[in-house]
Amino acid sequence: MHPTPSTHTTHPPEPPSCVQFSPQDPTLVTLGTYFLNASAADLSSKKTGHLCLYSVTPDEGFTLLQSHPTQAILDLKFSPHSPDTLALAHSLGQVSVWTLSERALTLKALFTPFPEDVLVLSLTFSPTSRDTLAVTLSTGEVATVSLESGEVVERWAPHTLEAWTCVFTPDGRGVYSGADDSVVCLWDVAGGSEAWRDRRSHGAGVTAVLPVGGEGAVLTGSYDEGLRAFEVRGGRRGVVGEVRVEGGGVWRLAWMGEGQKRVLASCMHAGTRVVDVEGLEVVAGWVEGESMNYGSDVTADGRVVSCSFYDKRLSLWSA
């Protein structure tokens, strides 16, 4: 792999934890930050953050348009149903919903469906219900939340340690989750029961899950530096392929373009990697970050933003 240099870099005021391009306007980037104030006496000021909106172009680089103070942001996602709608996972058991319109972010709703000592660690929109989120919690639980009422619809406990990630199946009937207990599992939302579980294949916590194609396969990322392909149904259940990312765990995974042939992997200490899924081979990457790469995103034309946590770095490069 030959590392790709960044073309532009900016430094947010706080450590960046997650990032996404606007699906409506790929010259806009939303960034979530997470700051831990260890000396703070109360929970509300111990973990704080900002939701930042940047303009980014190949010629001019990054321009900060807005910065909204919030509770610490652990994850953010745009809705596949309303591309102007953005949901954030926070500390203090909170979920917030924002609207991006005319190059400005506006808070639409702030919900507190969980106790304030619970971190909402990740979230994902249902592909079939525009008002339903699935979220994972620091308690090891997973839940679905209504965006109309902010109330918990269903809640289950598939893990014994922090649940780092979740994603719906393409038909919206199931939710995959991965956690610090090294377990990845599939919950049948309609039936209210567990449909599949793997507890032996990962040597450390499961931090990313990404469905492949239809209902029968997923990719997983783990602290153990492995990106694995699983068959979930049929006679070949289990790991069917694996690629190692030396030097850092695989924190997040996202598809690049159409066809599900390449994946963008945010790899913590190892920066960002582009992985050929068919050959399970690392083909490109970005390694300029000096600490934890918790977030990356890519446009249809291959422009990538990657962030690095402790050195407060946000960079633009081409995959």
Q: pLDDT tens digits, residue range 290-306? A: 899 999 999 999 999 99
**Are 231 and 216 contacting, i.e. CB atoms less than 8 angstroms apart?**
yes
**pLDDT the model gives residue 129:** 96
From start to end of 213-290, where are the E strands?
217-222, 226-231, 238-244, 252-255, 262-266, 272-276, 281-286
* Cα 102 to Cα 24: distance, rounded to the nearest angstrom: 11
Cβ-proximal residues to 258 (8 Å cutoff; 6+ apart), any chain: none
Query: What is the distance of C-alpha 312 from the center of its chain?
Result: 18
> Which residue shows structure tokens 């049948």?
188
Q: Which value, in Å, is the radius of gyration of the alpha carbons in the chain?
A: 18
**pLDDT the model gives residue 190:** 86
**pLDDT the model gives residue 247:** 86
CB atoms within 10 A of CB 154: 14
Q: How many CA atoms lie within 13 A of 269 on its CB side?
A: 9
| Residues β-bridged to residue 66 | 53
**pLDDT the model gives residue 248:** 87
Closest CA to 233 of 173, 160, 164: 173
Which helix (H) or strand (E) is 46 found in, with range?
A: helix 43-46
* Cα 90 to Cα 112: distance, rounded to the nearest angstrom: 9
141, exposed or middle or buried, with CB in 10 Å at 0-12, 13-18, 19+?
buried
* Cα 91 to Cα 210: distance, rounded to the nearest angstrom: 24
pTM for the model stands at: 0.96
**pLDDT the model gives residue 234:** 66
Cβ-proximal residues to 167 (8 Å cutoff; 6+ apart), any chain: 124, 134, 175, 176, 209, 210, 211
* Cα 208 to Cα 231: distance, rounded to the nearest angstrom: 16
AA letter at 275: V
* Cα 225 to Cα 111: distance, rounded to the nearest angstrom: 35
Q: Which long-range contacts (CB under 8 A, 24 or more apart) does 159-162 make?
A: 159/183, 159/185, 161/205, 162/119, 162/121, 162/137, 162/138, 162/205
**pLDDT the model gives residue 232:** 87
Taking 70 as the pLDDT cut, the residues of the chain under it are: 215, 234-236
Report pLDDT digits (tens) over 23-47.
Answer: 999 999 999 999 999 899 898 999 9
The structure tokens listed for 232 are 């979930």
**289 three-state secondary structure:** coil
**Are 179 and 166 contacting, i.e. CB atoms less than 8 angstroms apart?**
no
What single-letter DSSP state applies at residue 5?
P
**pLDDT the model gives residue 246:** 85
Cβ-proximal residues to 303 (8 Å cutoff; 6+ apart), any chain: 26, 58, 316, 317, 318, 319
| Residues β-bridged to residue 72 | none
Report pLDDT digits (tens) over 148-199.
Answer: 999 999 999 999 999 999 999 999 999 999 999 999 999 999 899 999 999 9
**Phi, psi dihedral angles at 244 (to 5 degrees):** -95, 140
